[in-house]
Amino acid sequence: MSRVWNFSAGPAALPQSVLEQAQRELLDWNGSGASVMELSHRGKLFMGLAAQAEADIRELADIPADYAVLFLQGGATQHFAQIPMNLAGEGDTADYIVTGHWGEKAASEAAPYVKVKIAAHSRDEGYMRLPERASWQLDPRAAFVHYTPNETIHGVEFHAVPEVGDVPLVADMSSDIFSRPLDVRRFGLIYAGAQKNIGPSGLVVMIVRRDLLDRATRPMAKIFRYAEHAANDSMLNTPNTWGWYLAGLTFKWMKEQGGLAAMATHNDAKAAKLYEAIDSSNGYYRNPVALESRSRMNVPFTLHDSKLDPLFLQESEAAGLLALKGHKAVGGMRASLYNAVPLDAVKALVAFMQDFAARHG
């Protein structure tokens, strides 16, 4: 079997050593004689796994004790609605900073549960740049401020945490969590679908300030209330045990690589190499995003002639470069460079792009 270079936007590449360990342990995990997927989440073995995963994530991101770490389900999309259910009461407003497709969707899904105010957006620029901070219209009485630090489809990224005063800052970090050092104390709540930088799809990791769990919002079933999940160590119902296990292995892998500072160095090098290839191609390839807003995680690019797109995709796949087709909303190509994508993958992509341009110029 030959492994390909995986540039998928998600579900995305996992570290090869993590996959190999999971393969070795699939039939007999931790000497139990059974797969981790077959064991009770209430049993001593899995409870130990869960505790270790939380300890590792707390160490990685320097998460203080006054923040709860939750391992949830539903994907980030479910939490677009569930977050306002938990953080906003009847009649409350929330500010949304909309910088792409996922910010739009978060605001739309929140609307039944909170009065959504679009405090800033870059829709008029086609989401090709971030809105100037001075233009944001924030309400100091808002229940929270929501933003998407990295937009996977449009390829824009905040390179610093925005200052929003005393209002809790909520971040959908699905596509950039743990890609660089993280100051958790700047946030009220961080959530992320696991399938890009943490593990497989079906798991959501949430880091939430404990005082926000005490907000009196509205009547709801226990399963929707984050405070109930925190009180039950994320085991209010049967969790995604496989996803939790793989996330735990990935946390250990990140620690072995040198932690989040090492992840940042790794990711910066990959993005710089790919952007350099695009910018030095004399217009053969083009990235449409404003320089100061470019994402390190998701790099969209177009060819000088869109008629070559099908051929580029056909030849790149034959060369072992997987999932380079851009999202239908923007077209073209997209290379996702999450933590588990090695620099060698980017080197292979750049070499292919240069060869393709030479042959089809």
Q: How far is CA 93 from CA 98, 149, 192, in A?
A: 16, 21, 23
**Is residue 172 annotated as part of the catalytic site, yes or no?**
yes
Q: Are 247 and 234 in contact (CB under 8 A)?
A: no
Structure tokens at 157: 């990224």
Catalytic residue among 102, 252, 253, 325: 102
Could you tell me where the DSSP H helices lie in the chain?
16-25, 44-61, 75-87, 101-110, 226-231, 241-257, 259-279, 309-318, 343-359
Query: For 266, how many CA atoms within 13 A lie in the half-sphere containing its CB?
Result: 21
Structure tokens at 145: 């401020």
State the DSSP string of 56-94.
HHHHHHT--TTEEEEEE-SHHHHHHHHHHHHH--TT-EE
Residues paired with residue 116 on neighbouring β-strands, in sequence order: 94
Q: How far is CA 141 from CA 47, 82, 94, 133, in A?
A: 40, 20, 9, 19
Q: How far is CA 74 from CA 87, 136, 229, 289, in A?
A: 18, 31, 14, 31
Q: How far is CA 291 from CA 201, 295, 296, in A?
A: 31, 9, 11
In 74-178, beta strands by DSSP E: 93-98, 115-121, 145-147, 150-151, 156-157, 169-172
Q: Are 197 and 339 in contact (CB under 8 A)?
A: yes
Catalytic residue among 92, 172, 252, 253: 172
Q: Are 299 and 155 in contact (CB under 8 A)?
A: yes
Q: How far is CA 336 from CA 63, 199, 274, 295, 326, in A?
A: 27, 15, 11, 10, 10
**Is residue 176 annotated as part of the catalytic site, yes or no?**
no
Q: Are 165 and 307 in contact (CB under 8 A)?
A: no
Catalytic residue among 5, 29, 176, 196: 196
Q: Which amino acids are annotated catalytic? A: 102, 172, 196
